[in-house]
């Protein structure tokens, strides 16, 4: 079944993947850039922009956010405007016009102190402004009355954007050794695999009106790894001889605290939407293929 899907976002990793994967899956994709819907605009303007969407939109996907984790610590007003107030306005408009909504959130809503994968209904306790602003956005969507699915993800990468993979490859061109944090654990998520999962959720919302508003986790499958492990896998996959020195996060201080453990349990997503998530290693191979095309 072909749907008309609207995406808020146009140039980010996920938005680009949604455009590519959505069209490949046979859907009509309408991408709204900042010129069409500015997430820093007053809430009434954002609601009006949603209300002006073309008729026949099967679902709306919020694929844009304020993701500058460190900058958010000194720019909280903008982070909350984009990550909390804007989704609240979008969800209110979706509720009024019965537009199904898919909202993307983050592992940063958790404190990172767990020792087993986080379930969607586990207690949240974000350690920084970025995670707190995203959590407020989640709560606003859940209380809006919109039919919605919230998807939390982690460690998103592709082959061409600004992310860990492309940074490692760029740095390895001029350095024989890189120091990489080894005590932060998670699962990398390829943007193309995330996009297909998001579209699957949108399809289900659009075609199954009894589906309840809910929160799920979407990440790459496979064994959890550290950032240092991911760097090693990247260099091995590209036949680079760059050495990785494993360091604790305390030796790489940042303005915002990073969660030590970001592993998200994806079982509820895979069961609800009948969509198995590929292992992160397959995502790495796909991202590296992107770089050659």
The confidence score (pLDDT) of residue 4 equals: 95
The confidence score (pLDDT) of residue 25 equals: 94
d(CA 105, CA 21): 20
* pLDDT (mean) for 243-247: 98
* pLDDT (mean) for 240-254: 94
The confidence score (pLDDT) of residue 137 equals: 98
In this predicted structure, the answer to whether residue 87 has a pLDDT above a threshold of 80 is: yes
In this predicted structure, the answer to whether residue 179 has a pLDDT above a threshold of 80 is: yes
In this predicted structure, the answer to whether residue 1 has a pLDDT above a threshold of 80 is: no
Q: Give the domains, in start order, of the chain with CATH numbers.
A: 4-161+188-222+263-279 (3.40.50.720)
Mean pLDDT, the chain, integer: 96
Reference 34, options 54, 74, 7, 73; nearest CA is 7
In this predicted structure, the answer to whether residue 293 has a pLDDT above a threshold of 90 is: no
Tens digits of per-residue pLDDT, 139-176? 999 999 999 999 999 999 999 999 999 999 999 999 99
* Active-site position among 80, 118, 130, 261: 130
d(CA 151, CA 153): 6
Tens digits of per-residue pLDDT, 10-56? 999 999 999 999 999 999 999 999 999 999 999 999 999 999 998 89
Neighbours of 250 (CB within 10 A): 8
Tens digits of per-residue pLDDT, 96-134? 999 999 999 999 999 999 999 999 999 999 999 999 999
pLDDT band at residue 201 under the 50/70/90 scheme: very high
The confidence score (pLDDT) of residue 83 equals: 98
Q: Could you tell me the pTM of the whole model?
A: 0.97
Residue 252 among the catalytic residues: no
Reference 100, options 111, 91, 89; nearest CA is 91
């Amino acid at each position: 079944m072909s749907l008309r899907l609207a995406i808020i976002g146009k140039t980010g990793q996920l938005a680009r993947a949604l455009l590519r994967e959505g069209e490949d899956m046979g859907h009509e994709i309408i991408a709204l850039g900042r010129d069409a819907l500015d997430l820093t605009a007053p809430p009434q303007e954002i609601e009006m922009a949603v209300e002006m969407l073309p008729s026949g939109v099967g679902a709306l996907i919020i694929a844009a956010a304020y993701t500058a984790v460190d900058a958010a610590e000194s720019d909280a007003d903008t982070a909350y405007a984009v990550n909390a107030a804007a989704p609240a306005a979008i969800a209110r408009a979706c509720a009024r016009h019965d537009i199904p909504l898919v909202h993307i959130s983050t592992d940063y809503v958790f404190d990172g102190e767990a020792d087993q994968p986080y379930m969607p209904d586990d207690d949240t306790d974000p350690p920084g402004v970025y995670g707190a602003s995203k959590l407020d956005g989640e709560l606003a969507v859940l209380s809006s009355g919109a039919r919605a699915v919230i998807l939390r993800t982690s460690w998103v990468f592709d082959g061409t954007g600004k992310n860990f993979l492309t940074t490692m490859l760029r740095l390895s061109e001029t350095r024989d050794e890189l120091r990489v944090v080894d005590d932060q654990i998670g699962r990398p998520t390829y943007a193309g695999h995330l996009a297909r999962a998001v579209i699957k959720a949108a399809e289900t919302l659009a075609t199954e009106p009894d589906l309840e508003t809910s929160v799920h986790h979407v990440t790459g499958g496979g064994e959890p790894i550290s950032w240092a492990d991911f760097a090693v896998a990247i260099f091995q996959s590209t036949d680079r001889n760059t050495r990785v020195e494993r360091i604790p996060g305390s030796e790489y201080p940042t303005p915002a605290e990073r969660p030590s453990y970001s592993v998200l349990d994806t079982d509820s997503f895979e069961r609800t939407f009948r969509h198995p998530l590929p292992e992160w290693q397959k995502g790495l191979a796909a991202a590296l293929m992107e770089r050659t095309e």
